[in-house]
């Protein structure tokens, strides 16, 4: 008996369609910014979809959230002030919570409906909002960063959607300039950076903007996330001018962060070996984005 499938078809991955088997549609509404869909799938648990693009599934969200968080937070000693752009599901906040050195977390998510839906359907992610260090701002991150005090943050994590819809400007140079300004010297950015198979040119553009904007090192890392298009997702890591940052060999290894590993929720994907391995790039990517 053939149950219903949801098909994901998008110009961001032309010539292919992805599908996930549905048990039950749980929520479907249009917010001010996008269409928000939650369904129970047959094999990946609950799934959050925005404008027809999978943002997370319960089964593999650990890979994305743990990597986008611990790659930057483990790369500098004693991170204290962190900003999350997007990330309204709370998963990145949940991961930041493992770091006892952090004393202040701002999050700027544009769409309140994503936060509400996560609180209702994804309590294992939304738990991140309960951390008393978290300060929630509902609004456009472009405007938030324009107003952010210079040098405020040690780490900025851009957990934003693909550059169609409300996240369009989040891959453009003025946005990166406001990020560099908001970071302290030697502070780091970790930015979601798409799939090396599908978006090589976008990655190339983002890397060259980052090289112009950040005076410290610029690196690309990637991880396997089966439900993202092509099954991988990348991250751009940048440091501002200041104490040099060695992204590949974590100076603040997670195994030494007090309580991070023996947390009530175990790490499922990230460890120091995976951290270093994430920076090993396939030959074609090194060539095309001239990363050496």
DSSP 120-179: HH-HHHHGGGGSTTEEEEES-HHHHHHHSPTT-EEEEEEE---SSGGGGGGGSHHHHHHH
Q: Of the listed 89, 159, 162, 205, which one is catalytic?
A: 159
Q: Considering only 94-102, 109-117, 201-209, 246-254, which stretch makes contact with ligand AAT by CB under 6 A?
A: 109-117
110 near ligand AAT (CB under 6 A): yes
Contact region for ligand AAT (CB under 6 A) — 163-171, 183-191, 240-248, 274-282? 163-171
Q: Mask of contacts with ligand AAT, 128-147, x by CB under 6 A? A: ------------xxx-----
CA dist 158 and 210 (Å) reads 13
Q: Which residues 6+ apart lie within 8 Å of 26 measured at CB?
A: 38, 39, 40, 46, 121
Least separation, in Å, of the C-beta of 268 and ligand AAT? Answer: 15
CA distances from 110 to 52, 79, 86 (A): 18, 25, 7
Torsion, Cα 133 141 47 165, to 10 degrees, reads: 180
Span 209-268, contacts to ligand AAT by CB under 6 A: 228, 233
Query: What's the rounded Cα separation, in Å, for the pair 199 and 194?
Result: 6
Cβ atoms within 10 Å of 15's Cβ, excluding its own: 4
Choose which of 41, 160, 213, 227 interacts with ligand AAT (CB under 6 A): 160
Among residues 72, 79, 128, 166, the one that binds ligand AAT under rule CB under 6 A: 166
Name the one range near ligand AAT by CB under 6 A: 74-82, 103-111, 203-211, 250-258.
103-111
Q: Is 162 a catalytic residue?
A: no
Please report how close the Cβ of residue 158 comes to ligand AAT at its closest, in angstroms. 9
Choosing from 73, 114, 117, 210, the residue that interacts with ligand AAT (CB under 6 A) is 114
Residue found by looking up tokens 């369904």 in the block: 39
Q: How many CA atoms lie within 13 A of 124 on its CB side?
A: 14
* Of 161 and 213, CB closest to ligand AAT: 161
Site residue total, ligand AAT (CB under 6 A)? 28
Mask 74-93, x = binds ligand AAT (CB under 6 A)? Answer: -----------xxxxx-x--
Classify residue 49 by burial, with Cβ atoms within 10 Å: 0-12, 13-18, 19+: buried
List residues near ligand AAT by CB under 6 A: 50, 53, 55-56, 85-89, 91, 108-111, 114, 140-142, 159-162, 166-167, 170, 192, 228, 233
């Amino acid at each position: 008996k053939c149950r219903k499938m949801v098909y994901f078809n998008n110009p961001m991955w032309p010539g292919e369609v992805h599908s996930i088997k549905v048990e039950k549609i749980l929520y479907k509404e249009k917010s001010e910014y996008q269409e928000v869909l939650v369904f129970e799938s047959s094999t990946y648990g609950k799934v959050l979809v925005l404008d027809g693009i999978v943002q997370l599934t319960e089964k593999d969200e650990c890979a994305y959230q743990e990597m986008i968080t611990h790659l930057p937070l483990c790369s500098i000693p004693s991170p204290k002030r962190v900003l999350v752009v997007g990330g309204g599901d709370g998963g990145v906040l949940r991961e930041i919570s493992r770091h006892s050195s952090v004393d202040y977390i701002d999050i700027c998510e544009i769409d309140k409906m994503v936060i509400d839906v996560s609180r209702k359907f994804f309590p294992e992610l939304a738990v991140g909002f309960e951390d008393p260090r978290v300060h929630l701002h509902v609004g456009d991150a472009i405007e938030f960063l324009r107003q952010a005090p210079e040098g405020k943050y040690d780490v900025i994590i851009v957990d934003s959607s693909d550059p169609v819809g409300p996240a369009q400007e989040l891959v453009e140079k003025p946005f990166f300039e406001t990020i560099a300004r908001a970071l302290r010297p030697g502070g780091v950015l970790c930015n979601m950076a798409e799939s090396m198979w599908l978006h090589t040119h976008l990655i190339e553009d983002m890397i060259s903007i980052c090289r112009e904007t950040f005076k410290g090192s610029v690196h690309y890392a990637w991880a396997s996330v089966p439900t993202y298009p092509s099954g991988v997702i990348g991250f751009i890591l940048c440091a501002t001018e200041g104490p040099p940052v060695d992204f590949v060999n974590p100076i603040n290894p997670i195994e030494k962060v007090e309580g991070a590993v023996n947390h009530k929720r175990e790490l499922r994907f990230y460890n120091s070996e995976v951290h270093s391995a994430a920076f090993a790039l396939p030959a074609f990517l090194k060539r095309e984005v001239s990363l050496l």
